[in-house]
Structure 1
Amino acid sequence: MIDFLLNASRPVKRSISVFYDLLAIPAAIYLALALRYGTATPQLDGSILAAALITTLLTLAVFIRLGLYRAVVRFMTGQAFTTLALGIAISAITLASSSFFTHANLPRSSLIIYFFTAFTLLGTPRLFIRSVVTQLSKAKCEPVLIYGAGQQGVALANALTGSDHYRPFAFIDDDSKKQNMNIHGLKVHSASDIENITDHYHIKKILLALGRTSIAERKQLIEKLTESKLEVLTAPSVNDIISGKARIEEVREVEIEDLLGRDCVNPRTELLKNNLHNKVVLVTGAGGSIGSELCRQALLQQPKQLILFELNEYSLYAIEQELQQLKSTHHLDTDIVSILGSVQKQNRLETIFRTFRVQTIYHAAAYKHVPMVEHNVVEGVRNNVFGTWYCAEAAIAAGVERFVLVSTDKAVRPTNVMGASKRFSELVLQALTERQSDTLFCMVRFGNVLGSSGSVVPLFRKQIKDGGPITVTHPDIIRYFMTIPEASQLVIQAGAMGKGGDVFVLDMGEPVKITSLAKKMIRLSGLSEKTEQNPHGDIELQFTGLRPGEKLYEELLIGDNVEGTDHPRIMTANEVHLSWPETHNLLNRLDKACHDFKVEDVINLLLEAPAAYDKQGECPDWVLNASKASH
């Protein structure tokens, strides 16, 4: 019967509702009189029957007018029942009026009783159907625990009542005052009950609704939950909900930032504004992971003009569209200019810098993928070393005030061409600082950023979704991680602190063992690691060996001359560097080696420079090795 009612067409459902009400209204009148007279057989003469008929027909007309038959019973809300009560009140008035005109002997108290009997007979079936449908639909939904019985947790539970995917089963909360309470029909348990609940009720997911909990506390909690067999999901942050970026019910996988991150130090506003506010700012590599975030952060400081310089057409288009949307959202009047071009074209760079009177440059354009540069040595050096040099020379010629190079931790005692080329780029800027003083050069080093195109996190997430295995190069490999927004804000602040030739190093926090990260990601997905001890596990870890030029450990500093700055997350290092004539001589020789495609000479020149380059094994350059094989 329930299935028939749910699957019937709308006209059939309306007909059934009208037919039921046609019977229920006279029955409610009869019940009202029976209760009034205290007998099951009250006296019903012709005048009372006439009044009942008039009331029934007019009530149906009122219900149609109020739209009660347009409401879908299974989704009836409190407002619909309020409308029903209004309709019944009008029906009671109609009964009183019709009894007056038909001279029916109807006690006045029976009219009040009629209101309640009618509401019971008309409202109860609707409420019953809604309840049954809700229970049936919820039975198909997956039961979940909600960690946090605060405001955000309660809002999440309410939002999920209309969800087709999840059914709130219970709250978990660390507050002993809330434990064992019932909030919105859900019991609040302590964290120690999680294992018992999941074992007994076969719950596989827990949703985090932690409100404004600090990143450190969130990290500690997630670490604890990784030991459970639950898949850990999280509700959007309060700020995202308030700003309209997300809805409370849009649960998602736990961001690895929550697991690896740390509480951000609030950026110093004056440092962010110094070289951006009301200035003409240009970002090279504007479509990349760091370049695009630098553009976002720069735009929020309201520069006079923001110039996006990018070689890849689609990347440039994508970041321009995003920035235009950001500009509109924040009602900014910054002029955004998108320019296609290569940092290896000095004349074009100088023309652009002069034309737009550029004042601040963030040079993020570079080839950063270690194995790719190892296999393409000449292009890696051309883009990283000469791209930086040409860009810097163009900045000097055009009178640019400040030039900030985005460098890398791989420039420290490099074991690969990418790191050596970035250290060489730093040497070029340090030498140019000694040659002139009009343009201020500085560079900022940091490690891996979460969510970048080369980050292991999206790779691991994809491998888990595909059923594994997760590939890690070495069991002991470690890396430093930082979120892209934090890294970009610190680059801007460090750039503002530069006095000329400075090498700034960002505090990357504690190093992360990649194997441990992979295992935590498996457990956060509610899965288990497949090992010899656990052959029936879900995801296997495979070690593939270090890639060409890859290090086990990353370092951020050269030498011991490290000093703090006014900013707790920014340090500065005093580096060994060459004079401009020495650097220029090296650049000319390097240029000729690249032009003649003498890869061994290019590598020897990188070794000759004071970059502490420690070459590992034979060079894996594709073209070089193919040409050797052909001879």
Structure 2
Amino acid sequence: MTAHGATPTSSHPGPGHDLPGTRERATGSGAASARRAVLIGTAESVGLLSSQLALLADPPKAEAVVLVEPPAGAVCRTTEDLPRLCRDLRPDFAVVCLPRSSAAESRRVSAILAELNVPERRVPVLQDLLDAPPASTLSGPGAAVADARRLLGREPRPIDHGAVASVIEGKRVLVTGAGGSIGSEIARIVASYGPESLVLAERSENALFEIDRVIQRRFPGLARAAVLHDITDHDATLRLLAKHRPHAVFHAAAHKHVPLMEDHPAHAVTNNVFGTRSVADAALACGAERFVLISSDKAVNPTSVMGATKRLAEMYVQHIHRSADATRFSIVRFGNVLGSACSVVPIWSSQLAEGGPVTVTDHRMTRYFMSIHEAASLVIQSAAIPDPPGGRSAAPVFVLDMGEPVRILDLARRFVAASGFHPVVVPPVQGLTPLDPAIDLSTLPTMEIALTGVRPGEKLYEELAYDHEALIPSPFPGISVWSTPSQPVDIPNMLAELTAARNSQNRAAVIQTIRGLVPEMQPPIAARGGPLQGIDQADTCSDKVRHAAA
């Protein structure tokens, strides 16, 4: 099977091809029924793998089982035996069933099999399928969507389960934007830690239905409420929280797409700023113990409307934190999340399925990345970190450690290669990072990666903290705590200016007002490299709102 006419030049599927391809080869190509296979997996996954093989019309004969990370005392062959085993048995292929948590061993197994010229079939672990959010699927050479860990080239940050339990267990929890990529993952994790109840607030009917269905199936005994809700309705939000009285509020609802918000700045103001105000006000009024704002690295020295409105949301949370006695407000910043809705991986998956090309805006562009599960887990864990020294003068800002920034072009090339194609950058770029030597690109069909140019509002690189923010030691690896000096802001006038600009229905006026309220906002970069037309680039810092470091 190929995607839109692409024809592989090798008769052996490469890493990432799954069991359906095995069955097609067995039943449709006249292969002998007595094919021999080596099964590779953990002690937990191999038993299920044997059952899955039995469902095939012409199941292969399992000549041996290789256990990765075997339990103590088990009598078995390990990964160390794999080279000798394959040379002795000469299997037609190896069936690999490893969980995502074994990323390093998975790469090692793939390298060994490639060196021995043993075709590899991948079968997903059942629990990984249950834990994973819905994702695009492909056919043909791109059938396996590359694992986030393989793309990032690092292991996920460790999670302190005791800290997460201290925030969630026996508590009433509310998640806004519960149908989104981060919100739904937070909801799944929260549900697994035994909360008293879970409220899913989401304005997308389909997204709410899906996450509610997942929670109901996996946690049938959990008290939950799926609420179709618009956070920009201030009074309705107050009623929602007054009804459910959450101990912890995770505010993930937001508009996040940079180019769209450049075209619709009033919507960004309404959802990101006034929506945050609604939820924060309600959390304070209803006596919530914790409120966590999911922010973005794009809020630091923003160049986009989306980033600037997230910065304004941070400013409001900082303001309300100063007057909050019972509620502890905090902010979490992180960068891009691999696999989130409409992020690069699903977009590239769709482009591969359509026959290409895969698109990247600029070869110099870098971003911080982490997996959805890693980001959501660390967000919840951050809520357990105590306030920094100095009292409640400012809400703590937690920055998730995302490792080194990743060049988007390198990520795209790794993704395309892991999906079974030979990536070709157009126009050519010099000095590219070498790809995984275990992948023989000469045997793969080519796939173009087209450089399309920077879009309005985009940066070439992101920052995670301001220069005036001070780093404070954190008790948990993977989370940095930044202390933000108090910046007095006339919040009533800020909101009044935003309301007037939004009601003017004038795009330029809205952007002008945002830039006045966020003086560190840089002029946006247009698709062809110049400033956006129709927007005054002069500094328009508001006369009514003053930002002064304490």
TM range (shorter): 0.7 to 0.9
Supply the AA of the counterpart residue of 2:505. Answer: F
1:264 & 1:531 partners in 2: Cα distance? 29
Greater Cα shift, 608-617 or 229-238: 229-238
Judge conservation of contact 2:299–2:307 (CA < 8 Å) in 1. yes
Deviations 1:3-51 (A, max 9, x none): xxxxxxxxxxxxxxxxxxxxxxxxxxxxxxxxxxxxxxxxxxxxxxxxx
Partner of 1:187: 90
Q: SS of 1:431's equivalent?
A: helix
1:303 shift after superposition: 1.8
Does 470-479 or 259-268 show the bigger shift? 259-268
1:516 aligns with 2:410: yes
Change (3 A) 1:524 1:358: closer
Q: Equivalent residues in 2 for 1:368-379 (5 A)?
A: 368-379=256-267
Query: Which residue type is aligned with residue 279 of structure 2?
Result: C
Worse overlay, 425-434 or 479-488: 479-488
Deviation at 1:423, TM superposition (A): 0.9
Q: Give the conservation status (yes or no) of the 8 Å contact 1:234–1:253.
A: no
1:571 equivalent in structure 2: 480
Show the counterpart of 1:471: 359
Q: How far did residue 588 of structure 1 move?
A: 1.4
Alignment correspondent of 1:297? 189
Stretch deviating more after TM superposition (232-241 or 284-293): 232-241
User: TM-score, normalized by length of structure 1?
Assistant: 0.64
Q: By how many angstroms is 1:222 displaced?
A: 5.7
Q: Please name the residue that 2:501 is paired with.
A: 593
Residue 327 of structure 1 pairs with residue 219 of structure 2: yes
Aligned partner of 2:459 among 518, 529, 551:
551
1:139 to 26, 31, 49: 31
Any conservation in 2 of the 1:431–1:577 contact (CA below 8 Å)? Answer: no
SS in 2 for 1:460: helix
Give, in angstroms, the shift of residue 421 of structure 1: 0.5
SS of residue in 2 equivalent to 1:496 = coil
Contact 1:368 1:418 in 2 (8 A): yes
Contact 1:281 1:306 in 2 (8 A): yes
User: Quick one: which amino acid aligns to residue 382 of structure 2?
Assistant: A
Tell me the secondary structure at the aligned position of residue 338 of structure 1: strand
8 Å contact kept, 2:172–2:196: yes
- What are the superposed Cα offsets for residues 73-101 of structure 1, whole Å, 9 maximum, x if unpaired? xxxxxxxxxxxxxxxxxxxxxxxxxxxxx
Does the 8 Å contact 2:169/2:195 carry over to 1?
yes
Aligned pairs for 1:157-556 (under 5 A) are 160=53, 163-164=56-57, 177-181=81-85, 186-187=89-90, 207-210=95-98, 214-219=102-107, 233-237=121-125, 253-260=145-152, 262-328=154-220, 332=221, 334-499=222-387, 500=392, 501-530=395-424, 537-556=445-464
Q: RMSD value over aligned CA atoms?
A: 4.1
What is the CA–CA distance in structure 1 between the aligned matches of 2:527 and 2:130, rounded to whole Å? 53
CA 1:171/1:353 → structure 2, altered by over 3 Å: closer, same or farther?
same
Mapped contact 1:586–1:605 kept (Cα < 8 A):
no
For the 8 Å contact 2:258–2:458, the answer to whether it is kept is: yes
Report the CA distance shift for 1:210/1:270 in structure 2 as closer, same or farther (over 3 A): closer
**TM-aligned CA deviation for residue 506 of structure 1:** 0.3
Which letter maps to 2:456? P
Asked if structure 1 preserves the Cα contact closer than 8 Å seen for 2:255 and 2:268, the reply is yes
Is there any run of 5+ residues in structure 2 with no aligned partner, and where? Answer: 1-25, 67-77, 134-142, 429-441, 535-550
Contact 2:261 2:306 (8 Å CA) reproduced:
yes
Query: Structure 1 residue aligned with 2:524, among 601, 608, 616?
Result: 616
User: Do residues 605 (structure 1) and 513 (structure 2) align?
Assistant: yes
Give 1:163's aligned amino acid. L
Q: 1:260 Cα deviation (Å)? A: 1.9
Q: What TM-score, normalized by structure 2, do the two folds share? A: 0.73
Deviation at 1:406, TM superposition (A): 0.7
Q: Is the 8 A contact 2:264 2:507 kept in 1?
A: no
Instruction: Give the greater-gyration-radius structure (CA).
Output: 1
Q: SS of the residue aligned with 1:497?
A: coil
Alignment-mate amino acid for residue 412 of structure 2? A
Offset at 1:565? Answer: 0.2
Larger RCO (CA within 8 A; separation ≥ 6):
2
The answer (yes or no) to whether the contact 2:242–2:286 under 8 Å persists in 1 is yes
Instruction: State how far apart, in whole Å, the 2-side matches of 1:416 and 1:349 are.
Output: 28
CA contact under 8 A between 1:216 and 1:261: conserved in structure 2? no
CA distance in 2, matches of 1:321, 1:450: 23
**Maintained 8 Å contact 2:37/2:61:** yes
| 1:158 Cα deviation after fit | 8.9
**8 A Cα contact 1:445 1:506, kept in partner:** yes
CA distance in 1, matches of 2:190, 2:408: 32
TM-fit CA distance, 1:298: 1.2
Q: Give deviations 1:325-384, integer Å, cap 9, x for gaps.
A: 1112xxx3x311121221111111111211222221111110011111111010111100
CA distance in 1, matches of 2:108, 2:346: 22
Task: Determine if contact 1:443/1:495 at 8 Å carries over to the other structure.
Answer: no
**CA–CA separation in structure 2 for the residues paired with 1:159 and 1:324:** 26
